[in-house]
Structure 1
Amino acid sequence: MGMYLSIALGGALGACARYGVGQIFFKVVGSGFPFATLFVNIAGSFLMGALIEYMALRWSPSPEMRVFLVTGFLGAFTTFSTFSLDVAVQVQRGDYFSAGSYIMLSVLLSIAGLFAGLHVMRMVMA
């Protein structure tokens, strides 16, 4: 139960942080381009890399703290950070085909999934 509570608390804070970033960007630059999403994806990926490396080299947090930060906070702040870590692991293993396939499939199928969801809801609501 402690793991789930750690994830939930981290997720709540990560989601609030993402919302706050969105509000700041909306006030500063408006809504013409998704700068806030771009920022949280890049920042979240940077934070994921820095955190994973720090945990590998200097800090061995409890399993609850690890899921609080990685799965909870960064997962809610942006799922792009986890995607970036998955790609980095594949590249570091030298599995470039797998990494490239994962990148293409993730982007294309996620976008296709979004359009499929839009289409299904339009059909259901019609």
Structure 2
Amino acid sequence: MVYIGVALGGMLGSLLRYILSLVTANILNDGFPTGTLIANLAGSLFLGWFTSRLIEQKKLDAVWAAAIGTGITGSFTTFSTFSLETLLLLETGHIGMASLYILISVLGGLFFAAAGYKLGSKNKSRPGVGVK
């Protein structure tokens, strides 16, 4: 069942990322990979929170934890697309934009994962507070 959960979650997460990329490209149309950046930062925040709040506290069945954490979040965020978009920016001479993208992605991802984890940890030691 875990494999099915990851597969179904993966379909949903990749579809959400694709839609986000299309929407941001149509709105901004500036050549900067905003959709992937938003997906990766939001996914980092969510996965930090999700891990701290639900997985570590064993508040979810293993199938749901894998479906949401690995399936949806893992396919919503993407290192391969980040890498390719960075390479394309570099190859087209947008060195400053590529550097900014790398900096925001790496530092922002770490910051948002830590923030999500901290948010998930908040009040978890107090009985009756948080997700049940």
Q: TM-score, normalised to structure 1's length?
A: 0.59
Q: Residue type matched to 2:48 in 1?
A: G
In the alignment, what sits opposite 1:34?
Answer: 33
Within 2, Cα distance between the matches of 1:37 and 1:75? 13
Question: Would the aligned equivalents of 2:36 and 2:78 in 1 still touch at CA under 8 Å?
Answer: no
In the alignment, what sits opposite 1:20?
Answer: 19
Within 2, Cα distance between the matches of 1:73 and 1:59? 19
Cα distance, 1:26 vs. partner? Answer: 1.0
Q: Residue type matched to 2:39 in 1?
A: V
In the alignment, what sits opposite 2:74?
Answer: 75
Cα distance, 1:14 vs. partner? Answer: 0.2
Runs of 4+ in 1 over 2 A off after TM superposition: 56-59
Within 2, Cα distance between the matches of 1:27 and 1:65? 33
Within 1, Cα distance between the matches of 2:71 and 2:12? 8
Identity %: 33
Cα distance, 1:59 vs. partner? Answer: 5.9
Within 2, Cα distance between the matches of 1:54 and 1:25? 30
Q: Give the secondary-structure state (helix, strand or coil) at the position aligned to 1:19.
A: helix
Q: Residue type matched to 1:62 in 2?
A: D
Q: Deviations over 1:53-93 (max 9, x none)?
A: 2115766100000000011001100145xx95xx96xxxxx
Q: Which runs of 5+ in 1 are unaligned?
A: 89-126
Within 1, Cα distance between the matches of 2:13 and 2:36? 13
Q: Which runs of 5+ in 2 are unaligned?
A: 80-108, 115-132
Q: Which protein is richer in helix relative to its size?
A: 1
Q: Give the secondary-structure state (helix, strand or coil) at the position aligned to 1:61.
A: coil
Length, aligned pairs only: 83
Please give the residue correspondences for 1:97-112 in structure 2 after superposition, counting only pairs within 5 Å: none
Within 2, Cα distance between the matches of 1:70 and 1:57? 12
Q: TM-score, normalised to structure 2's length?
A: 0.56
Computed over aligned residues only, the root mean square deviation of the Cα atoms, in angstroms, reads 2.3
In the alignment, what sits opposite 2:52?
Answer: 53
Within 2, Cα distance between the matches of 1:10 and 1:42? 19
Q: Give the secondary-structure state (helix, strand or coil) at the position aligned to 1:39.
A: helix
